[in-house]
Amino acid sequence: MSATRYTYLGPEGTFTEAALRTLPEAATRELVPMVSVPAALDAVRSGEAAAALVPIENSVEGGVTATLDELATGEPLMIYREVLLPIAFALLVRPGTKLTDIKTVTGHPVAQPQVRNWLRAHLPDALWESAASNADGARLVQEGRFDAAFAGEFAAATYGLEALVTDIHDAENAETRFVLVGRPARPAAPTGADKTSVVIWLGDDHPGALLELLQEFAVRGVNLMLIQSRPTGAGIGNYCFAVDAEGHISDRRVGEALMGLKRISPKVRFLGSYPRAGVAPSEVRALRPGTTDAAFVSASDWLARAQDGRA
């Protein structure tokens, strides 16, 4: 086991590595690229790494299903940090290649929908073929297997390519959210701008089940920031939901909502409470009246008095 080793979705030169390097502690860790999200996370599970940075959500392509599914199943893991990274692609080519020379392009499957419109407009006849990663796409261009690859501009140097076009992104504000995942432990203390992630399984064939789950949050004034459905693998129509809620598990409203979910759902997996990236406590939406910790404590005191005949 190594407390100083962090894995990430490799290879070198991916956006994930760029995201990882935004963390201050990255400077003092051994950063190890892995071939896949499962591989990066399995290294954490086995103790070979202290943590792994993997993408979990993309503003264009949605949830990263490999990450969601890995976190939902197998040996439990927990999220300790999130990193938001704006995403813009460069079109990397072998030096001298012109736009009109490009017949084949590659990149990670997740990149493709983010540059789809750009491709239609500028390379309508180019054939897309997916690569294992954006960086791997760059390597395949270097090897001559493709004419161009979409990747981070920072990957050009590594593979002896040049960025023919930069800042390519179909959508404004394209960004990817990454999470730093470790083995389960006590979450860090609340910062005042926190997020809690859980995966909740729906009971079988109960039409109102999702509505009931959402009401467990709503009745306690807990706002949701992400609801991502995932198949459970038990056949079409069977879902679990990855949910990000505002607040920290140690907030009374969040804790009570989680217990409510635990009681009515066949399975709930707590994925962690951690600071929200890019949001200061002063920017957090005001709580609904009656949902602060003080209100919970006061109501709890009142109940104790009522049970004792002194309310």
Shortest distance (Å) from residue 217 CB to a copy of itself: 8
Residue 233 backbone zone (phi > 0: left; psi -120 to 50: alpha; other: beta): left
Shortest distance (Å) from residue 269 CB to a copy of itself: 8
- Angle at 60 (CA atoms; ends 78, 165), nearest 5 degrees: 115
Q: Which tokens is 255 given?
A: 């804790």
Chain Cα centroid distance, residue 293: 28
CA distance 81 to 181: 7
Shortest distance (Å) from residue 81 CB to a copy of itself: 15
**Looking at beta carbons only, is 60 or 155 nearer to a copy of itself?**
60
Shortest distance (Å) from residue 42 CB to a copy of itself: 9
217 sits in which H/E element: helix 209-218
Shortest distance (Å) from residue 1 CB to a copy of itself: 17
Give the residue, chosen from 12, 31, 36, 118, that forms a contact with a copy of itself under the rule CB under 8 A: 36
Residue 26 contacts by C-beta under 8 Å, 6 or more apart in sequence? 6, 20
105 sits in which H/E element: strand 104-107
Give the residue, chosen from 24, 95, 144, 207, that forms a contact with a copy of itself under the rule CB under 8 A: 207
**Looking at beta carbons only, is 16 or 291 nearer to a copy of itself?**
291
**What would the x/- binding string for a copy of itself be over residues 113 to 142, using CB under 8 A?**
x--x----------xxxxxx---x------
Give the residue, chosen from 15, 52, 258, 275, that forms a contact with a copy of itself under the rule CB under 8 A: 258
Among positions 43-102, residues that touch a copy of itself (CB under 8 A) are 57-63, 65-66, 69, 76, 78, 84
Give the residue, chosen from 88, 214, 284, 287, that forms a contact with a copy of itself under the rule CB under 8 A: 214
Q: Which tokens is 108 given?
A: 């990670």
**Looking at beta carbons only, is 163 or 240 nearer to a copy of itself?**
240
**Looking at beta carbons only, is 130 or 191 nearer to a copy of itself?**
130
Shortest distance (Å) from residue 52 CB to a copy of itself: 17
Check if the beta carbon of residue 267 is closer than 8 Å to that of residue 222.
Answer: no
Among positions 155-194, residues that touch a copy of itself (CB under 8 A) are 170-175, 177, 184-187
Residue 79, judged by CB atoms within 10 A of its CB (0-12, 13-18, 19+), counts as: buried
In the three-class reduction of DSSP (H, G, I as helix; E, B as strand; rest coil), residue 18 is classed as helix
Q: How many CB atoms lie within 10 A of CB 159?
A: 21
Give the residue, chosen from 109, 166, 281, 283, that forms a contact with a copy of itself under the rule CB under 8 A: 109
CA distance 246 to 273: 9
Among positions 268-307, residues that touch a copy of itself (CB under 8 A) are 268-270, 285, 289-291, 295-296, 298-300, 302-303, 306-307
Shortest distance (Å) from residue 24 CB to a copy of itself: 22
Shortest distance (Å) from residue 168 CB to a copy of itself: 15
**Looking at beta carbons only, is 68 or 155 nearer to a copy of itself?**
68
Residue 49, judged by CB atoms within 10 A of its CB (0-12, 13-18, 19+), counts as: buried
